[in-house]
Chain A
Amino acid sequence: MQLDLIAVQLFTGVALGAVFVLLSIGLSVIFGMLGVVNFAHGAFYMTGAYAGVFCLAVTGNFWFALAAVPLLIGALGLGVERFLIRPLYGRGPDYPLLLTFGLGYVLVEAVRILFGTDGMPFDTPSLLAGGIDIEGLGYFPAYRLFVIAVTALILLLLWLLLERTRYGLIIRAGARDPEILSILGLDIARVWLLVFGLGTGLAALAGLLAAPMRSVNPEMGVAVLVEAFVVTVIGGMGSLLGGAIAGLLVGIVVSLTALWMPQMSTISMFALMTLVLLIRPQGLFGRGLSR
């Protein structure tokens, strides 16, 4: 096996992993704080890609779409939490789970009605169309570099938010003990609302970024939801660092098995998950069950 092939595949894996990272962070933080297993997360990802298609059709500007889509779908997430999920708190985890499960189908069906059942083309923005050819190592598409850079930037911003601001302190404390925040005078419902909006906005961003790399179709969120759950379980529920590392790990493992054992590539992530769970049932960076 040649070095250049491995390098390119590794790079592809990191870019794929970056999408997983964005997706699983939202899933993980929503579960960690709200206790909601969000089965609509894949649908928000898909809606993000379609909102991008729509933005591009209207404005023709990818950069506008990049800024608008997370805000748009994040706002949709705010509405979903406020009016659909909030009435279900305190009734056990299966109520929001079933609700988001159904909501996922509703979103997929709505997109089918609006955009049709066939896939949509999504061109790589012209500015990022080329690539970088490194002698002896291979050809690296600029768009994938861009996806990795955007993800790294988002991770940095999230880290700053969590570690350096009062909102971050609220989120970190709320992930461990939401009740203490109410006791200390914070309206926890508002915190949950914003966390859900943030998570869905990130899912939409992931969908938009993935659109030029993977095909855009109404079912694109189904497979990716499973992948995001696998990443979240490997990284540990509720852990930002865990989500980031597990996302990259899964992306790389999937890409490398596609290179060496193509027939194994669809199950390699599950094998990885099984292995991690056998050794660390709480995930790589999970805290396990406390209290």
Chain B
Amino acid sequence: MAEALLEVADLNAWYGPAHVLQGVSLSVAAGEIVALVGRNGAGKTTTIRAVMGLIANRSGSVRFAGAAIGARPTHARFAAGLGYVPEERRIVPGLTVRENLRLGLLACGLGAAAEGRAIDAVAQRFPRLGERLGQEAITLSGGEQQMLAIARALLSQPKMILLDEPSEGIMPALVDEMAELFLELRRGGMTLLLVEQNVELALEISDRAYVLDQGRVVHEGASLTLLADPTIRERYCGV
């Protein structure tokens, strides 16, 4: 394997006295889709929040695109090319769809014209968002909000995006559409790290997967192999 785009080594994290990540190591090569699965509370969300620098009490090394970013603040990790779609989408209430999209461009320092063009491109790619640009974003359906959150993270053209539970609370037809979007992104050269409760979906669209349990990586391998192994899914991925 070529040098990994994202290389996480011996990641530890604490919430108060609780040692929630205990030496997690994982790597993602450029152009891969990697899934992070495991039951509720296994440490999946904490892992990607730590990768984004959002956990105050942490240790371990995070390398991205050849640079050690483990000590950098969150906004500098974004600048390095890490996009992140957090759990529950985090659409900002009180703002329209267009304004929520503009948030994704603020750090890029574009002029108004370039900003408008970028948002028009999103509107074409996601017609459902395009039709609702002036609408208050919080009134969108769960699936539309998820698309908005993903589109917002893609606007700055990151090298890689981290997705936390993108299929949560979304109707099945849209889940398929989203899986298709992820595959299409990868064909375009994007790298994805996908945290999912929906193990089947995650393993079907990813190349490799890590199984997390109680803050440790307990299994890793090709997604198809894990998908074919019912014991792993029963033991570590039941809700």
Q: Is B truly associated with A?
A: yes
Binding site for B on A (CB under 8 A): 90, 166, 169-170, 172-173, 176-177, 179-189, 290
**Contact residue among B54, B56, B93, B107 (Cβ-Cβ distance under 8 Å from A184):** B107
How far apart sit A176 and B99, CA to CA, in the bound complex (Å)?
Answer: 13
Q: B187 interface residue, CB < 8 Å from A?
A: no
Interface size on B, residues (CB 8 A): 25
- A sample of 8 inter-chain contacts (CB < 8 A) reads A169-B103, A169-B106, A176-B95, A182-B75, A182-B78, A184-B106, A185-B156, A186-B107
The CA of A173 and the CA of B102, in the complex, are separated in Å by 11
Task: Of the listed stretches B25-33, B84-92, B168-176, name the one at the interface; the rest are far from the partner chain.
Answer: B84-92
Tell me the smallest distance from the CB of B164 to a CB of chain A, in Å.
11
Residues B75 and A180 in contact, CB atoms below 8 Å apart: no
Please measure, in the bound complex, the distance between the C-alpha atom of A170 and the C-alpha atom of B103, giving whole angstroms: 8
- Kindly state the separation between the CA atoms of A169 and B101 in the bound complex, as whole angstroms: 11
* B94, CB-defined interface residue at 8 Å: yes
Q: In the complex the two chains form, is B103's CB within 8 Å of A181's CB?
A: yes
Contact of B92 among A177, A182, A187 (CB under 8 A): A177
Could you tell me the distance between the alpha carbons of A142 and B227 in the complex, rounded to whole angstroms?
A: 80
**B residues 66-121 touching A (CB-CB < 8 Å):** 73-75, 78-79, 84, 86, 90, 92-95, 99, 102-104, 106-108
Given known pairs A185-B78, A188-B75, the reply for A180 and B106 (CB within 8 Å) is no
Q: Please state if B56 and A183 are interface contacts (CB–CB under 8 Å).
A: no
Decide: B92 and A183 in contact? CB cutoff 8 A. no
A179 touches B103 (CB 8 A): no
Smallest Cβ distance from A229 to chain B, in angstroms? 24
> A173, A182, A183: which has the most chain B beta carbons within 10 Å?
A183
**Contact present for A173 and B92 (CB under 8 Å):** yes
Chain A residues in 8 Å Cβ range of B95: 169, 172-173, 176
The answer to whether A185 and B92 touch (CB under 8 A), given A169-B106, A173-B103, is: no
Tell yes or no: B216 within 8 A of A by CB. Answer: no
Closest to A182 in B: B74
A186-B75 contact in complex given A173-B95, A179-B54, C-beta closer than 8 Å: yes
A183 to B104, CA, bound (A): 9
From B162, which residue of chain A is reached at the shortest CB distance? A183
Bound CA–CA A18/B30 (angstroms): 58
A263 → B minimal CB distance (Å): 42
B42 neighbours in A (Cβ, 8 Å): none
Question: Does residue B152 face the partner (Cβ distance < 8 Å to A)?
Answer: yes
Near A by CB (< 8 A), chain B positions 105-140 give: 106-108
Q: Is the CB of B75 within 8 A of A187?
A: yes
User: Top 8 A-B pairs ranked by shortest CB distance?
Assistant: A185-B107, A185-B78, A182-B74, A173-B92, A180-B90, A187-B75, A185-B75, A182-B75
Chain A hits for B156, CB < 8 A = 184-185
**Interface set, chain B 182-223, CB cutoff 8 A to A:** none
CA distance A177 to B152 in the complex (A): 15
**A184 to B108, alpha carbons, bound, how many Å?**
10
Name the interface residues of B44-80: CB closer than 8 Å to any CB of A: 52, 54, 56, 73-75, 78-79
Point out the residue from B74, B93, B102 that lies within 8 Å of A183, measured CB to CB: B74
CB A177 to nearest CB in B, in angstroms, measures 6
When C-beta atoms are compared, the residue in chain A nearest to B105 turns out to be A184
Known: A169-B102, A184-B104, A184-B152. A176 touches B86 (CB 8 A): no
Report how far A212 CA is from B106 CA in the complex, Å.
43
